[in-house]
Amino acid sequence: KNALASQPTVSRFFSRMDEDTLNQFLVIGRVLRKKIYSIQMPPAVILDLDSTLLDAYGRQEGRAFNFHYQSNGYHPLVCYDGMTGDLIKVQLRDGTQYSCTGVVDFLQPILDEYQNDYPAIRILLRGDSGFATPDLYKQCEENGTSYVIRLKENGLLREKASCLVD
């Protein structure tokens, strides 16, 4: 407990955070990835795309009602390393944004980093049905990235997959 920051110190830290601070955290993550990969380069990486609700109370800018979660807050995009659970990137968005909104612009710097810095690593993108968008499929294909994106069950999918079920 003696090694932890006090509540006032944590509050001062958060009150001074801005977009530059968040970008510096992304740079730190990239530097750490480079160090880790210099020790042991993984043969493949699973980029796990997701979005989540960050509850917010009061009148914070960007706080909004999200119908999927039935709550007020922010709806950030996140990308994790699916094998290690390490956070690769996060982008804060207001609560009204749909899961895939802005995902192509969010993902491209990550794909560029891996293609430029680690061309030997195979990349697989994984996402839930909120990321089922042709723009994301096209981006993956243009960048040589394999992808697995869950689709919501519907009549057309059931019909097309019926031969696989039998």
Q: What is the mean pLDDT of each run of 10 residues along the chain (166 residues)?
A: 79 79 88 94 95 75 65 82 92 80 95 96 95 95 96 86 82
Q: Write down the pLDDT at residue 64.
A: 65
pTM: predicted TM-score of the whole model, two decimal places = 0.80
Q: Write down the pLDDT at residue 70.
A: 66
Q: Write down the pLDDT at residue 73.
A: 78
CA distance 48 to 99: 13
28-41 pLDDT, tens digit per residue, is 999 999 999 999 99
